[in-house]
């Protein structure tokens, strides 16, 4: 270790009162001059302290030869901090969210460090904040956020697709509520110039989730009838556009909870192939049966309250893909499941965050080939509900908790 690095380490506020006595061949002696100390590294050696005879005044001296081990080098190495949104006590209500600091992550082999410009809000963030979301093994335990846009600032070894300064957006297992993030290069895409930073931060999680639900899990075919619940949500509005413009749906039915959202979705679809129902004032099962005999595929977020109506609407060999269960996961007593057998129905559950890097890389590739060109041309778009400075993260969480958003909520990382 170089002397200047060690001296800088010893001159930090937490080590005031320590003096560098000598250095020779990678070994150092530290002398403790004053009683107050805070640093854990020094504290671990305080047990070796001896009281030396002195009359005016007594002093505590600590002398120990310390090998400059890997542990010590790490302590005195990269100590750069970044700002990030953290949760007081690890979980809790929105009031527990605060802007704090953590170590800036460094890229390992095959990874890219990105300085984040914007990141998106997802319903799983609310669940994670409350301690109700099972985190995948690779997820950050302290920082939320699974999608972002930003600029490449550092490369790990063996990175081939990106260079410093590249504009990117992508998926993450966690950690996007921060100034910096590291990501496997396979989970990134180059940001087209036609797409803004805000839009790019709103794509990854919602659009990849919608794409995999429709095509990889749902097996959607051209000419299908599709029912998409929670149509005004980020995933819902993405699924509507993908079903119409990529999947070639014959009809798309969707539900939402207000007349304002009905208008929003009708304008988003811009076609008579889209039929929107306010579930608070209309019985969507009855309304759909007035138009057609049923649907081939359902993208579901609601759960218990819609279960029977969904089974009634599915055609023979139909599929229902569950992405959430907002009304609950326990069915009422007496629910008849016989139609699952005689209609040969497929009921599936799916998540994206816990998928492997390889799976997410393939999904991103499909999206880049099938959907991104249409987005660049303006035929599909991210519907942004509101952009919040990340200092108002609690306000944004409340907005989503109250189901007020029509489209995507995005944060801006402000200085």
pLDDT per position as a tens digit, 206-254: 999 999 999 999 999 999 999 999 999 989 999 999 999 999 999 999 9
User: How many CA within 13 A on the CB side of residue 300?
Assistant: 31
| Residue finishing a domain among 301, 316, 349 | 349
Residues 144 and 195 in one domain: yes
20 pLDDT exceeds 80? no
Q: Which domain covers residue 322, as residue numbers?
A: 207-349
Residues 195 and 309 in one domain: no
Residues 193 and 244 in one domain: no
Q: Which of 11-15, 83-87, 159-163, 336-340 has the lowest mean pLDDT?
A: 11-15
Q: How many structural domains does the chain have?
A: 3
DSSP letter, residue 366 = H
Q: Cα–Cα distance between 189 and 320 in angstroms, integer? A: 30
Residues 6+ positions from 414 with CB-CB distance below 8 Å: 389, 390, 391
Cβ pair 182, 142 in contact under 8 A: no
In degrees, rounded to 5, the angle at the alpha carbon of residue 208 between the alpha carbons of residues 206 and 213 is: 95
Residues 246 and 314 in one domain: yes
Residues 183 and 242 in one domain: no
Q: Which of 38-52, 284-298, 376-390 has the lowest mean pLDDT?
A: 38-52
381 compared with 251, residue with greater pLDDT: 251
Tokens 């953590």 locate to: 102
Q: Does 213 map to a domain?
A: yes
In degrees, rounded to 5, the angle at the alpha carbon of residue 350 between the alpha carbons of residues 344 and 353 is: 170
Residues 179 and 237 in one domain: no
Helix (H, G, I), strand (E, B) or coil at 170: strand
17 pLDDT exceeds 60? no
Q: Give the residue among 281, 259, 291, 109 at the shortest CA–CA distance from 182.
A: 109
Cβ pair 187, 360 in contact under 8 A: yes
- Return mean pLDDT, the chain: 84
Q: Write down the H helix ranges in 114-233.
A: 123-129, 197-202, 204-211
27 pLDDT exceeds 90? no
Query: CB count, 10 Å around CB of 50?
Result: 8
Residues 149 and 268 in one domain: no
Q: What is the mean pLDDT of residues 381-409?
A: 94
Report CA 76 to chain centroid distance, whole Å: 31
Q: What is the mean pLDDT of residues 86-96?
A: 96
407 compared with 335, residue with greater pLDDT: 335
In this predicted structure, what is the pLDDT of residue 5? 40
Q: Cα–Cα distance between 313 and 325 in angstroms, integer? A: 18
In this predicted structure, what is the pLDDT of residue 55? 38
Q: What is the mean pLDDT of residues 151-176?
A: 97
- Give the CA radius of gyration of the chain: 27
60 compared with 392, residue with greater pLDDT: 392
Q: Cα–Cα distance between 224 and 37 in angstroms, integer? A: 70
60 pLDDT exceeds 60? no
CA distances from 148 to 21, 171, 316, 402 (A): 48, 7, 40, 23
Is the bond into 57 cis (omega within 30 degrees of 0)?
yes
In this predicted structure, what is the pLDDT of residue 78? 58
What pTM was computed for the model?
0.77
59 pLDDT exceeds 50? no
368 pLDDT exceeds 60? yes
In this predicted structure, what is the pLDDT of residue 1? 39
Please write the tens of the pLDDT for every residue from 97-113.
999 999 999 999 999 99
343 pLDDT exceeds 90? yes
In this predicted structure, what is the pLDDT of residue 383? 87
| Residue finishing a domain among 19, 47, 75 | 75
Q: Give the residue among 196, 249, 192 at the shortest CA–CA distance from 218.
A: 249
In degrees, rounded to 5, the angle at the alpha carbon of residue 135 between the alpha carbons of residues 132 and 138 is: 165
Cβ pair 341, 316 in contact under 8 A: no
Cα torsion at 252, 256, 262, 267 (round to 10°)?
-50
In this predicted structure, what is the pLDDT of residue 24? 35
pLDDT band at residue 333, thresholds of 50, 70 and 90? Answer: confident
Q: Cα–Cα distance between 205 and 353 in angstroms, integer? A: 8
Residues 20 and 96 in one domain: no
6 pLDDT exceeds 90? no
In this predicted structure, what is the pLDDT of residue 101? 97
Residues 94 and 181 in one domain: yes
List strand residue ranges (DSSP E) for 107-166, in order. 111-120, 147-155
| Residue finishing a domain among 296, 318, 349 | 349
Residues 6+ positions from 84 with CB-CB distance below 8 Å: 99, 100, 101, 102, 142, 143, 177, 178, 179
Helix (H, G, I), strand (E, B) or coil at 183: strand
Q: Residue 293 pairs with which residues in a beta bridge?
A: none
Residues 98 and 228 in one domain: no
Q: Cα–Cα distance between 69 and 310 in angstroms, integer? A: 63
Q: Does 354 map to a domain?
A: no
Helix, strand and coil percent figures for the chain, each rounded to 5:
35, 25, 40
8 pLDDT exceeds 90? no
Residues 189 and 102 in one domain: yes
Cβ pair 252, 275 in contact under 8 A: yes
Please write the tens of the pLDDT for every residue from 245-285.
999 999 999 999 999 999 999 999 989 999 999 999 999 99
């Amino acid at each position: 270790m170089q002397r200047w690095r060690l001296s800088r380490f010893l001159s930090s506020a937490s080590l005031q009162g320590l003096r560098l006595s000598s250095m020779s061949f990678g070994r150092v002696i530290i002398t403790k001059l004053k009683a107050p100390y805070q640093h854990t590294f020094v504290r671990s050696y305080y047990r070796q302290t001896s009281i030396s005879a002195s009359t005016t005044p007594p002093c505590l001296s600590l002398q120990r030869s310390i090998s400059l081990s890997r542990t010590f080098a790490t302590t005195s190495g990269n100590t750069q901090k970044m700002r990030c949104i953290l949760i007081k006590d690890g979980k809790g209500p929105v009031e527990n969210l605060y802007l704090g600091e953590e170590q800036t992550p460094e890229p390992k082999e095959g990874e890219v460090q990105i300085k984040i410009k914007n990141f998106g809000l997802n319903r799983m963030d609310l669940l994670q904040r409350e301690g109700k979301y099972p985190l995948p093994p690779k997820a950050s335990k302290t920082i939320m956020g699974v999608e972002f846009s930003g600029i490449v600032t550092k490369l790990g070894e063996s990175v081939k697709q990106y260079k410093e300064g590249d504009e990117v957006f992508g998926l993450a297992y966690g950690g996007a509520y921060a100034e910096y993030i590291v990501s496997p290069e396979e989970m990134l895409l180059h940001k087209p110039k036609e797409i803004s930073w805000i839009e790019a931060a709103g794509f990854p999680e919602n659009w990849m989730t919608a794409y995999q639900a429709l095509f990889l899990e749902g097996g959607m075919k051209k000419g299908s009838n599709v029912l998409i619940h929670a149509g005004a949500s980020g995933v819902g509005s993405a699924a509507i556009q993908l079903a119409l413009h990529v999947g070639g749906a014959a009809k798309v039915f969707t539900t939402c909870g207000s007349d304002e959202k009905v208008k929003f979705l009708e304008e988003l679809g811009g076609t008579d192939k889209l039929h929107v129902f306010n579930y608070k004032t209309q019985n969507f099962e009855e309304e759909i049966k007035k138009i057609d005999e049923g649907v081939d595929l359902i993208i579901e977020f609601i759960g218990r309250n819609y279960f029977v109506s969904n089974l009634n609407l599915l055609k023979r060999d139909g599929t229902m893909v569950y992405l959430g269960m907002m009304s609950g996961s326990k069915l009422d007593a007496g629910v008849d499941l016989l139609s699952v057998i005689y209609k040969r129905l497929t009921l599936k559950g799916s998540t994206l965050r816990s998928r492997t890097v390889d799976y997410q890389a393939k999904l991103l590739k499909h999206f880049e080939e099938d959907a991104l060109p249409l987005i660049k041309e303006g035929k599909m778009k991210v519907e942004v509900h509101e952009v919040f400075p990340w200092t108002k993260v609690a306000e944004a969480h409340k907005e989503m908790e109250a189901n007020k958003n029509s489209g995507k909520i995005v944060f801006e990382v402000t200085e």
